[in-house]
Amino acid sequence: MSDQKPEDFAEAPLNSSRATDFKTSMNLSARQIGDTKRIFQEWEGGPFSHLKRVTIPYHLASRGFKFSANGHLFDSLLSVKVYCDSLTGISGNDLDQDPIVADLVTSGQINFTGKTGTHSVTPGQICIRDTKASWEFFCAPATRLRVVTIPRHLVLSRVGSPQILGQAYTSDVSAPEVRFLVNFLEAIEKSSSDLDRSISTQNIALDACAALFSGMLSERSELGLQDHPNATVNAAKNVIERNIERADLSPAMVAQMIGVSVRTLHRSFSESNDSLMAFARRRRLQKAHGELMRLGSTASISEIAACWQFSDSSHFIRHFKSFYGTTPAAYLRNYGKAGSEN
């Protein structure tokens, strides 16, 4: 392989009888990584044409470079599973025809930096963004992900406002709307023969995907969370409610999921005379209180404390007393007496 030229590996030809199938790959040794502009010129005019200034980082070039994408492409809707070694560049050409792109990472990591902040997409997370606005990106070595691109005008016509597209949507794959999207994409894969035979089936799939994207972007963006503190707080509270049992719930995680900076998130809460983690603690105390009432005399304070992410029993008891005016045990005794008197 060392005697072949880089451009020989720029794109593997499609070896499939299905018109909707898409497959491309690169496999470069360290010697073959030279003029990256020539290596990636095959992407011009194709489904990856929104990418520019694509470069294999020099300090990682000694490892060689591999890239592969396998999936489906029809009527400008691309849905592929990708393997990519370390890569940097810019996603977006400031053109109306640049697509809306979703990246769902299964291993590795991709960082996107745009005007609205930085999004680090790690395994089990998805990021949907409008590439009409340029995003700098860095793909970590050996990253695996599913990439979906859809024409921008199909989404814009549904959301109605370019402002909604200005905020990236980031979420965990566990979110119901993301699980629904993944199931939809898997259904597309299973229906490849129908897609290949029927233009109307392709149009239905394209329309359904555009509706999913527009719904997710509209729900999360709230018409520009950076400029509307109340919308930021409401969106953050929704994320907290959905992830209240997670041990890794943090300002950084919430900020990433709603597409704002941590600084903007804290500022928005401070303007509402609250703090993000104080709200999360109150909701956990309320959940713990409900659990305490449900279990009654059989309740284990240590187990409830652990379930609702308090570091230990004393930490839970202290916060419970501050919020409810008495300890959990005393609260249960008083609750029991009140119940017997009734």
SS3 315: helix
* pLDDT at residue number 316: 93
pTM for this entry? 0.61
295-333, pLDDT tens digit by residue? 887 889 999 999 999 989 999 999 998 888 889 888 887
Q: Please, what's the b/e burial string for 199-228 (b: 16 or more CB within 10 A of its CB; e: otherwise)?
A: eebbeebbeebbebbbbbbbebbbebbbee
CA 289 to centroid of chain Cα atoms = 32
* DSSP label at residue 99: P
CA 123, 126, 131 angle in degrees (round to 5)?
A: 130
What's the Rg (C-alpha) of the chain?
Answer: 25
- Is the distance from CB of 133 to CB of 168 less than 8 angstroms? no
Across residues 70-90, what is the average pLDDT?
91
Across residues 156-180, what is the average pLDDT?
79
Q: Residue 66 class from Cβ within 10 Å (0-12 exposed, 13-18 middle, 19+ buried)?
A: middle
* pLDDT at residue number 230: 64
Higher pLDDT residue, 252 or 224?
252
124-159, pLDDT tens digit by residue? 989 998 888 888 999 999 999 999 999 988 888 887
CA 110, CA 261: separation in Å to the nearest integer?
Answer: 17
CA 170, CA 139: separation in Å to the nearest integer?
Answer: 17
* pLDDT at residue number 146: 95
Residue 341 pLDDT level (bands cut at 50, 70, 90): very low
Cα dihedral 157, 162, 163, 167 sign: positive
Across residues 225-245, what is the average pLDDT?
73
Query: CA separation (Å) from 303 to 58, 202, 286, 299?
Result: 51, 52, 15, 8
- Is the distance from CB of 183 to CB of 118 less than 8 angstroms? no
- Tell me which residue of 149, 171, 137, 134 sits closest to 69, measured CA to CA: 149
Which pair of tokens denotes residue 153? 């005008």
Which pair of tokens denotes residue 302? 């240590």
Residue 2 clears pLDDT 80, i.e. is over it: no
Element (H, E) at 148: strand 143-150
Which pair of tokens denotes residue 124? 């089990």
Mean pLDDT score of the chain: 82
Strands of the sheet with 87-91, listed across from one edge: 51-55, 87-91, 135-139, 110-114, 117-121
* DSSP label at residue 311: S
Query: CA separation (Å) from 240 to 147, 233, 248, 307?
Result: 27, 10, 11, 16
Strands of the sheet with 77-84, listed across from one edge: 21-28, 65-74, 77-84, 143-150, 100-107, 125-130, 169-172
Across residues 284-296, what is the average pLDDT?
87
CA 214, CA 208: separation in Å to the nearest integer?
Answer: 10
CA 156, 157, 162 angle in degrees (round to 5)?
A: 35
DSSP state string for 164-187:
HHTS-EEEETTSHHHHHHHHHHHH
Across residues 43-59, what is the average pLDDT?
85
Residue 4 clears pLDDT 90, i.e. is over it: no
* pLDDT at residue number 335: 62
Least confident of 120-129, 141-150, 213-222, 236-245: 213-222
* pLDDT at residue number 27: 92
* pLDDT at residue number 331: 83
The values of phi and psi at residue 335, to 5°, are -65, -40
